[in-house]
């Protein structure tokens, strides 16, 4: 636990209560209110928990005002530029960047766990062909606990480790199978000769009738998408995973809960909403009209993919993602894709407009990732499953950290009750 050398005093009805104040390695101080109810008989009120630290964590730090995102102390820019996704996975899970030998062993272990139990394939046929891939992923990932009984005992460190590897390794396979199922194509099994990102692309886009060659530019862009979405501190889905795990639920159920939360359009569906906005704009000549609407406070239209709830300056992930977007669009071109033409011109128009600069509404990671995935040929319904695939390692890292925290308790938020007080029961024949 972080050291405390300060206290805060709360005065209520003339009575004062001293509360410990903890100083983190980075970020604002934290007032410890765990004994507040026992001492003062009151709760705190914080809808959305936006001013409440729900846990102690050493994994990810965000300073939204300064546009800083650190994983284990390393900037996201350095990691996205110099590392690859599985190396970042190792960092998030174990706290340090791996040595060459550690990296080789970790990659080999993940690679040889990418196949799923053959009987799990029958789960897919139980869904309608027009089912959303996220619906399929929630069901299939939750069902993993029915197949992997040797890795659901959360009190056993070895079983926790096995579950960790299985989830990271099998999530691309499950996501790709969900995609293949919805488009009516046969499943493509993973290949051990391909790296993590290339293997996912191959499982999504190859078909038995012809050989699919993974372009290294697309593979690198996919790897960066995975890296830039790997973890994002105590967001809604991560908090959901932690809350589910606090009850002692098995890891597969906890990750399925995170996937379900991520499905929400206010969370994981942001890049899908961005592409839908671009399609609504339709053509380049309509951009000025929508720019004007975005500035009009009385118009409900908003530019999706610009600005961020957390980052009040700029999204540090967007710089790297923009580079990848430029590389992908240069490779694949935008001439025959009106949506991508609109995206490129909208980016130019918004960045050149003083209104957006003053309000710090810069293109964020969702704007550029949506462009990349659209250019690669993914339908918008696959954007959130790819996000879930990427975020799995963050969820697991946070899950492991919580399980190993001696201060862990089952989550039980309080409430500000505003309903009826106790009243007498009236029999149905006597009710007016």
Q: Give the CA radius of gyration of the chain.
A: 24
117 or 363: which leads in pLDDT: 117
Q: Which residues are catalytic?
A: 308, 366
Tens digits of residue pLDDT in 336-349: 778 878 888 888 88
309-330 burial, b if ≥16 CB within 10 A, otherwise e? Answer: eebeebbbbbbbbbebbebbbe
In this prediction, residue 383 carries a pLDDT of 93
Tens digits of residue pLDDT in 162-176: 999 999 999 999 999
167 with 399: CB under 8 angstroms? no
What pTM did the predictor assign?
0.90
Instruction: Show the tokens assigned to 405.
Output: 């925290």
Q: Is it the case that residue 404 has pLDDT exceeding 80?
A: yes
In this prediction, residue 364 carries a pLDDT of 80
In this prediction, residue 118 carries a pLDDT of 95
- What are the chain's domains? 7-53 (2.20.28.60), 74-263+390-404 (1.10.580.10), 269-376 (1.10.230.10)
Helices 316-332 and 365-376 sit at what angle, rounded to 10 degrees? Answer: 20
Tens digits of residue pLDDT in 39-83: 999 999 999 898 899 999 999 999 988 889 999 999 999 999 999
Provide the percentage of residues in the chain whose pLDDT is more than 90: 74
Q: Is it the case that residue 4 has pLDDT exceeding 80?
A: no
Lowest mean pLDDT: which of 188-197, 277-286, 305-314, 353-362? 305-314
**What's the pLDDT band for 201 if we cut at 50, 70, 90?**
very high
In this prediction, residue 202 carries a pLDDT of 98
């Amino acid at each position: 636990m972080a050291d405390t050398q300060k206290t805060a005093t709360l005065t209520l009805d003339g009575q004062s209560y001293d509360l410990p104040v903890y100083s983190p390695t980075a970020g604002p101080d934290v007032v410890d209110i765990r004994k507040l109810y026992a001492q003062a008989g009151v709760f705190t009120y914080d809808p959305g928990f936006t001013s409440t630290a729900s846990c102690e964590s050493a994994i990810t730090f965000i300073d939204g005002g300064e546009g800083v995102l650190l994983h284990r102390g390393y900037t996201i820019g350095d990691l996205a530029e110099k590392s690859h996704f599985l190396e970042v996975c190792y960092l998030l899970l174990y706290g340090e960047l791996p040595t060459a030998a550690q990296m080789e062993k970790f990659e080999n272990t993940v690679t040889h766990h990418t196949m799923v139990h053959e009987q799990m394939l029958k789960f897919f046929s139980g869904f309608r062909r027009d089912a959303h891939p996220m619906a399929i992923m929630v069901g299939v990932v939750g069902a993993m606990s029915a197949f992997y009984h040797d890795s659901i005992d959360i009190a056993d460190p070895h079983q926790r480790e096995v579950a960790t590897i299985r989830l990271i390794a099998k999530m691309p396979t499950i996501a790709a199978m969900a995609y293949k199922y919805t488009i009516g194509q046969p499943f493509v099994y993973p290949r051990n000769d391909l790296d993590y990102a290339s293997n996912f692309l191959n499982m999504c886009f190859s078909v038995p009738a012809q050989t699919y060659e993974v372009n290294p530019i697309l593979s690198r862009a996919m790897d960066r998408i995975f890296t830039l979405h790997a973890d994002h501190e105590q967001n809604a889905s991560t908090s959901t995973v932690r809350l589910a795990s606090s009850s002692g639920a098995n890891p597969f159920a906890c990750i399925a809960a995170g996937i379900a939360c991520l499905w929400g359009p206010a969370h994981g569906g942001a890049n899908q909403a961005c592409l839908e906005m671009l399609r609504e704009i339709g053509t380049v000549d309509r951009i000025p009209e929508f720019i004007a609407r975005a500035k009009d406070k009385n118009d409900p239209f908003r530019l999706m993919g610009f600005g961020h709830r957390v980052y009040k300056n700029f999204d540090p992930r967007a710089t790297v993602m923009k580079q990848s977007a430029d590389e992908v669009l240069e490779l694949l071109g935008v001439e025959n894709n009106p949506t991508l033409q609109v995206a490129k011109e909208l980016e130019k128009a918004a960045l050149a407009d003083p209104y957006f600069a003053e309000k710090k509404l810069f293109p964020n990671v969702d704007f550029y990732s949506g462009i990349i995935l659209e250019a690669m040929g993914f339908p918008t319904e696959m954007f959130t499953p790819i996000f879930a695939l990427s975020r799995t390692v963050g969820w697991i890292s946070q899950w492991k950290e919580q399980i190993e925290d001696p201060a862990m308790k089952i989550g039980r938020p309080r409430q500000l009750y505003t309903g009826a007080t106790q009243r007498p029961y009236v029999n149905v024949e006597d009710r007016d």
